[in-house]
Structure 1
Amino acid sequence: MQTINVSGNQQVQFYNYEHGEDNQPGNPQAPIHSRSPAGDPNVQSEDGRNDSRIFKDRWLTPLQSRFEALSNQVAGVAGNINSLSGQIGGLSKSVDNVQNGVTNVQDKFGDLDRSIGQVNKNIESLNVQTSQNQTSLGNIETTLGKLGPKIESTASEVTGLKDFEQWVKQNGGNSGH
């Protein structure tokens, strides 16, 4: 017995009725018949129940053809889903590549931030050195300011020595010693 669900979920059961002479060697097997669960009130079976018999060639072949067509459509849809899944997988890889590119750009900006930070530290260091240099120049100016009067005093002394030297020349550089 074989049970197949057809439109409306009505089950159709197929039986192979064996009649005496049909089962003899050389005779083809009896045709497969079906009986719907609801039965047909106009047909009585041998056991007195209402029965509906459908010959295989008349009803089963179109049902089987429709089932095969639907099965092929389902296989086509499954193929499309698999294809779409492959495309989604490819898209996912593309998104991963974009994310990697964004991460690389972020890393480069991070490196740039670190470089800018280092430049800022170098500028601060130069500012400190400039401030120290200004202090040193101020100290030099102070020192020069202190040296100025000493230089003037030394110049006066030199002038005095020149005057003395000239006096010595004028007064006879030899005093007889």
Structure 2
Amino acid sequence: MGRRLAGLLRRFVLRPLLTVAALVYFLIDAVALEALRPLAAWIGRQRFAERLAARIRRLGPYPTLALFVIPLVILEPLKPVGLYLMGTGHAVQGALLLGAVELVKVTLVERLFHIGKDKLLTIPAFAWCYVRVVRWLAWLTALPPWQAAKRVVGRVRAAIRPALTVVRGWARSLHDRLRAVSKRG
């Protein structure tokens, strides 16, 4: 009876709770990735980033793995700390920590993964894990709550797009004015 009860608890309590936690976790990641993608792309186009990417491409599979895993191991545990801070009345500090972690993760870890993906997949254990994670993410993103969240994000994005266009126009105008002033001076 003990094993059966443990199995039922795992199936009907633990698995749904972990699924909800994973949905929330990956939803935060997806929203942050979408919001920070333009910044990450801009950083990736900078000369220093291109030189760094060329150096990373010359590394072997295991140094590339170390370069990818070390920041991930440091950054991922900070996310629950940020959520904890937010949940214990330190919303600003928690949000700042989460924002900083996501910014570094998107601009560094995601970029490292894409630069070294082919080499990383030559490592059998990494390839095995990668296949399972991709399958699990496909299953997770097919769930109705994920699809509903995706629709909400799409509506929010469509609603703020006009405001972003105006802000970008202002920023370009300000940049052009500052450039003109610096050329005169």
**TM beyond 0.5:** no
TM-score (norm 2): 0.25
Q: Which has the higher contact order (CA 8 A, sep 6+)?
A: 2
TM-score (norm 1): 0.26
Higher helix share: 2
Higher strand share: 1
